[in-house]
Chains A and B, each alone.
Chain A
Amino acid sequence: ETGVTQSPTHLIKTRGQQVTLRCSSQSGHNTVSWYQQALGQGPQFIFQYYREEENGRGNFPPRFSGLQFPNYSSELNVNALELDDSALYLCASSLKGTDGVEQYFGPGTRLTVT
Protein backbone atom coordinates (compact mmCIF):
# COMPACT_ATOMS: atom_id res chain seq x y z
CA GLU A 1 0.00 0.00 0.00
CA THR A 2 1.63 3.26 -1.12
CA GLY A 3 1.18 6.38 0.95
CA VAL A 4 0.35 9.90 -0.14
CA THR A 5 3.04 11.47 -2.28
CA GLN A 6 3.47 15.08 -3.32
CA SER A 7 5.63 16.81 -5.88
CA PRO A 8 7.71 18.82 -6.01
CA THR A 9 9.23 18.84 -2.53
CA HIS A 10 10.35 22.44 -2.74
CA LEU A 11 9.57 25.24 -5.15
CA ILE A 12 10.61 28.85 -5.51
CA LYS A 13 8.45 31.20 -7.55
CA THR A 14 8.26 34.91 -8.20
CA ARG A 15 5.30 37.08 -7.26
CA GLY A 16 2.71 37.09 -10.04
CA GLN A 17 3.66 33.68 -11.40
CA GLN A 18 1.49 30.57 -11.43
CA VAL A 19 2.25 27.24 -9.78
CA THR A 20 0.90 23.70 -9.96
CA LEU A 21 1.38 21.25 -7.12
CA ARG A 22 0.64 17.56 -7.46
CA CYS A 23 -0.61 14.87 -5.13
CA SER A 24 -1.05 11.14 -5.48
CA SER A 25 -3.56 9.77 -3.03
CA GLN A 26 -3.18 6.59 -1.04
CA SER A 27 -4.28 3.48 -2.89
CA GLY A 28 -8.04 2.98 -2.62
CA HIS A 29 -8.82 6.51 -1.43
CA ASN A 30 -11.37 8.57 -3.36
CA THR A 31 -11.09 11.93 -1.61
CA VAL A 32 -8.29 14.47 -1.61
CA SER A 33 -8.09 17.57 0.54
CA TRP A 34 -5.58 20.39 0.28
CA TYR A 35 -4.27 22.48 3.15
CA GLN A 36 -1.99 25.50 3.46
CA GLN A 37 0.27 25.72 6.47
CA ALA A 38 2.09 28.97 7.20
CA LEU A 39 5.07 28.92 9.52
CA GLY A 40 4.02 28.44 13.13
CA GLN A 41 0.36 27.90 12.29
CA GLY A 42 -1.89 24.90 11.93
CA PRO A 43 -2.90 23.72 8.46
CA GLN A 44 -5.76 25.71 6.89
CA PHE A 45 -8.29 23.92 4.69
CA ILE A 46 -8.27 25.05 1.05
CA PHE A 47 -10.67 22.62 -0.62
CA GLN A 48 -11.62 19.00 -0.98
CA TYR A 49 -12.24 16.87 -4.07
CA TYR A 50 -14.42 13.78 -4.12
CA ARG A 51 -14.80 11.76 -7.29
CA GLU A 52 -13.44 14.61 -9.42
CA GLU A 53 -15.83 17.23 -8.03
CA GLU A 54 -15.07 20.00 -5.56
CA ASN A 55 -16.71 18.99 -2.30
CA GLY A 56 -16.13 21.88 0.03
CA ARG A 57 -13.94 24.95 0.08
CA GLY A 58 -12.28 27.00 2.77
CA ASN A 59 -11.76 30.75 2.86
CA PHE A 60 -9.37 31.00 -0.08
CA PRO A 61 -9.73 33.22 -3.17
CA PRO A 62 -10.62 31.82 -6.61
CA ARG A 63 -7.00 32.02 -7.75
CA PHE A 64 -6.61 28.82 -5.76
CA SER A 65 -8.09 26.08 -7.91
CA GLY A 66 -7.83 22.36 -8.18
CA LEU A 67 -8.48 19.22 -10.12
CA GLN A 68 -8.97 15.59 -9.30
CA PHE A 69 -8.32 12.96 -11.93
CA PRO A 70 -10.04 9.60 -12.54
CA ASN A 71 -7.24 7.84 -10.67
CA TYR A 72 -7.99 10.19 -7.72
CA SER A 73 -4.69 12.03 -7.94
CA SER A 74 -5.02 15.78 -7.66
CA GLU A 75 -3.51 19.12 -8.55
CA LEU A 76 -3.54 22.44 -6.75
CA ASN A 77 -3.10 25.49 -8.95
CA VAL A 78 -2.36 28.95 -7.63
CA ASN A 79 -2.43 31.92 -9.99
CA ALA A 80 -1.00 35.39 -9.50
CA LEU A 81 1.22 34.31 -6.63
CA GLU A 82 1.56 36.66 -3.67
CA LEU A 83 4.27 36.77 -1.04
CA ASP A 84 1.78 35.50 1.57
CA ASP A 85 1.30 32.33 -0.46
CA SER A 86 4.67 31.16 0.84
CA ALA A 87 3.81 28.12 2.93
CA LEU A 88 3.83 24.35 3.21
CA TYR A 89 1.07 22.90 1.04
CA LEU A 90 -0.28 19.60 2.27
CA CYS A 91 -2.51 17.14 0.57
CA ALA A 92 -4.44 14.49 2.43
CA SER A 93 -6.38 11.54 1.10
CA SER A 94 -9.24 9.64 2.66
CA LEU A 95 -12.02 7.24 1.81
CA LYS A 96 -15.37 8.96 1.89
CA GLY A 97 -18.48 6.89 2.33
CA THR A 98 -17.18 4.59 5.03
CA ASP A 99 -16.54 4.92 8.73
CA GLY A 100 -12.86 5.39 8.04
CA VAL A 101 -12.45 9.13 8.06
CA GLU A 102 -8.80 9.29 9.00
CA GLN A 103 -7.02 11.59 6.59
CA TYR A 104 -3.56 10.54 5.47
CA PHE A 105 -1.24 13.44 4.79
CA GLY A 106 1.62 13.66 2.36
CA PRO A 107 4.96 15.25 3.24
CA GLY A 108 3.98 18.55 1.68
CA THR A 109 5.40 20.96 -0.88
CA ARG A 110 7.31 23.92 0.48
CA LEU A 111 6.49 26.94 -1.71
CA THR A 112 8.53 30.10 -1.44
CA VAL A 113 7.33 33.22 -3.26
CA THR A 114 9.89 35.99 -3.70
Chain B
Amino acid sequence: LAKTTQPISMDSYEGQEVNITCSHNNIATNDYITWYQQFPSQGPRFIIQGYKTKVTNEVASLFIPADRKSSTLSLPRVSLSDTAVYYCLVGDRGTALIFGKGTTLSVSS
Protein backbone atom coordinates (compact mmCIF):
# COMPACT_ATOMS: atom_id res chain seq x y z
CA LEU B 1 0.00 0.00 0.00
CA ALA B 2 1.28 3.43 -0.90
CA LYS B 3 2.28 5.52 2.10
CA THR B 4 1.35 9.17 2.20
CA THR B 5 3.15 12.10 3.76
CA GLN B 6 1.42 15.37 4.50
CA PRO B 7 2.11 18.30 6.83
CA ILE B 8 0.99 17.78 10.39
CA SER B 9 -0.56 21.21 10.67
CA MET B 10 -1.33 24.37 8.74
CA ASP B 11 -2.65 27.77 9.73
CA SER B 12 -4.70 30.14 7.60
CA TYR B 13 -7.01 33.13 7.79
CA GLU B 14 -10.55 33.41 6.63
CA GLY B 15 -10.90 34.19 2.95
CA GLN B 16 -7.53 32.76 1.97
CA GLU B 17 -6.93 29.85 -0.37
CA VAL B 18 -5.36 26.85 1.34
CA ASN B 19 -3.29 24.25 -0.47
CA ILE B 20 -2.40 21.01 1.30
CA THR B 21 0.15 18.86 -0.48
CA CYS B 22 0.42 15.12 -0.05
CA SER B 23 3.37 13.00 -1.13
CA HIS B 24 2.81 9.42 -2.29
CA ASN B 25 5.94 8.26 -4.07
CA ASN B 26 4.95 4.59 -4.27
CA ILE B 27 1.50 5.06 -5.75
CA ALA B 28 0.38 2.06 -7.84
CA THR B 29 -1.26 2.10 -11.24
CA ASN B 30 -4.67 1.16 -9.84
CA ASP B 31 -4.54 3.63 -6.97
CA TYR B 32 -6.77 6.65 -6.67
CA ILE B 33 -6.14 9.67 -4.47
CA THR B 34 -8.89 10.57 -2.05
CA TRP B 35 -9.23 13.31 0.54
CA TYR B 36 -11.41 13.20 3.63
CA GLN B 37 -12.24 15.88 6.17
CA GLN B 38 -12.90 15.19 9.83
CA PHE B 39 -14.29 17.43 12.55
CA PRO B 40 -13.79 16.56 16.24
CA SER B 41 -15.98 13.68 17.45
CA GLN B 42 -17.40 13.07 13.98
CA GLY B 43 -16.71 10.52 11.28
CA PRO B 44 -14.59 11.53 8.29
CA ARG B 45 -16.39 13.06 5.33
CA PHE B 46 -15.43 12.51 1.70
CA ILE B 47 -14.19 15.65 -0.02
CA ILE B 48 -12.81 14.69 -3.41
CA GLN B 49 -11.19 11.87 -5.37
CA GLY B 50 -9.04 11.81 -8.48
CA TYR B 51 -6.74 9.69 -10.60
CA LYS B 52 -4.81 12.24 -12.64
CA THR B 53 -4.78 15.89 -13.74
CA LYS B 54 -7.36 18.08 -12.05
CA VAL B 55 -10.68 17.39 -10.40
CA THR B 56 -12.99 20.08 -9.10
CA ASN B 57 -16.23 19.95 -7.17
CA GLU B 58 -18.28 22.46 -5.22
CA VAL B 59 -16.01 22.13 -2.20
CA ALA B 60 -12.43 21.76 -3.41
CA SER B 61 -10.03 21.11 -6.24
CA LEU B 62 -7.50 18.32 -6.49
CA PHE B 63 -4.37 18.76 -8.55
CA ILE B 64 -2.39 15.68 -9.56
CA PRO B 65 0.81 16.00 -11.64
CA ALA B 66 1.60 13.59 -14.45
CA ASP B 67 3.88 11.39 -12.33
CA ARG B 68 1.14 11.09 -9.67
CA LYS B 69 3.76 11.04 -6.89
CA SER B 70 2.06 13.92 -5.13
CA SER B 71 -1.26 15.71 -5.04
CA THR B 72 -2.56 19.03 -3.77
CA LEU B 73 -5.91 19.69 -2.19
CA SER B 74 -7.00 23.27 -2.75
CA LEU B 75 -9.66 24.87 -0.58
CA PRO B 76 -10.77 28.24 -1.97
CA ARG B 77 -11.56 31.08 0.44
CA VAL B 78 -11.61 29.11 3.67
CA SER B 79 -13.86 30.01 6.57
CA LEU B 80 -13.73 29.22 10.28
CA SER B 81 -15.88 26.16 9.65
CA ASP B 82 -13.11 24.63 7.52
CA THR B 83 -11.03 24.10 10.64
CA ALA B 84 -10.64 20.32 10.67
CA VAL B 85 -8.26 17.45 10.03
CA TYR B 86 -7.70 16.63 6.36
CA TYR B 87 -6.58 13.15 5.34
CA CYS B 88 -4.94 12.18 2.07
CA LEU B 89 -5.48 8.52 1.15
CA VAL B 90 -4.12 6.47 -1.69
CA GLY B 91 -5.49 3.10 -2.68
CA ASP B 92 -7.49 1.00 -5.07
CA ARG B 93 -11.14 1.98 -5.07
CA GLY B 94 -13.33 -0.27 -2.99
CA THR B 95 -10.58 -1.41 -0.67
CA ALA B 96 -10.05 -0.47 2.95
CA LEU B 97 -9.16 3.13 3.61
CA ILE B 98 -5.69 3.57 5.10
CA PHE B 99 -5.51 6.78 7.08
CA GLY B 100 -2.38 8.55 8.25
CA LYS B 101 -2.38 11.25 10.91
CA GLY B 102 -3.70 13.88 8.54
CA THR B 103 -3.18 17.63 8.42
CA THR B 104 -4.81 19.76 11.09
CA LEU B 105 -5.96 22.97 9.44
CA SER B 106 -6.66 25.91 11.74
CA VAL B 107 -8.50 28.88 10.26
CA SER B 108 -8.51 32.14 12.18
CA SER B 109 -10.47 35.34 11.71
Residues of A within 8 A of B (CB): 4, 33, 35, 40-45, 48, 56, 58, 88, 90, 92, 94, 96, 99, 101-108, 110
Q: Which residues of B contact A104 (CB under 8 A)?
A: 46
Q: Given known contacts A42-B100, A103-B97, A104-B46, what 7 new A-B pairs fall within 8 Å (CB)?
A: A42-B102, A45-B96, A90-B44, A102-B46, A102-B49, A105-B45, A110-B41
A33 to B36, CA, bound (A): 16
Give chain B's interface secondary structure class.
loop
Total A-B pairs in contact (CB under 8 Å)?
Answer: 52
What 10 A-B pairs are tightest by C-beta distance, nearest first?
A105-B43, A42-B99, A101-B93, A45-B96, A102-B46, A43-B99, A90-B43, A101-B94, A105-B44, A42-B100
Partner of A33, one of B87, B93, B96, B100: B96
A88 to B87, CA, bound (A): 17
Shortest C-beta distance, A77 to chain B (Å), equals 19
- How many chain B residues touch A (CB < 8 A): the figure is 19
Q: Is the CB of B41 within 8 A of A33?
A: no
Residues of B within 8 A of A (CB): 32, 41-46, 49, 87, 93-102
Q: Is the CB of A42 within 8 A of B45?
A: no
A40 to B97, CA, bound (A): 17
Shortest C-beta distance, A101 to chain B (Å), equals 4
A43 to B94, CA, bound (A): 17
Q: Is the CB of B96 within 8 A of A43?
A: no
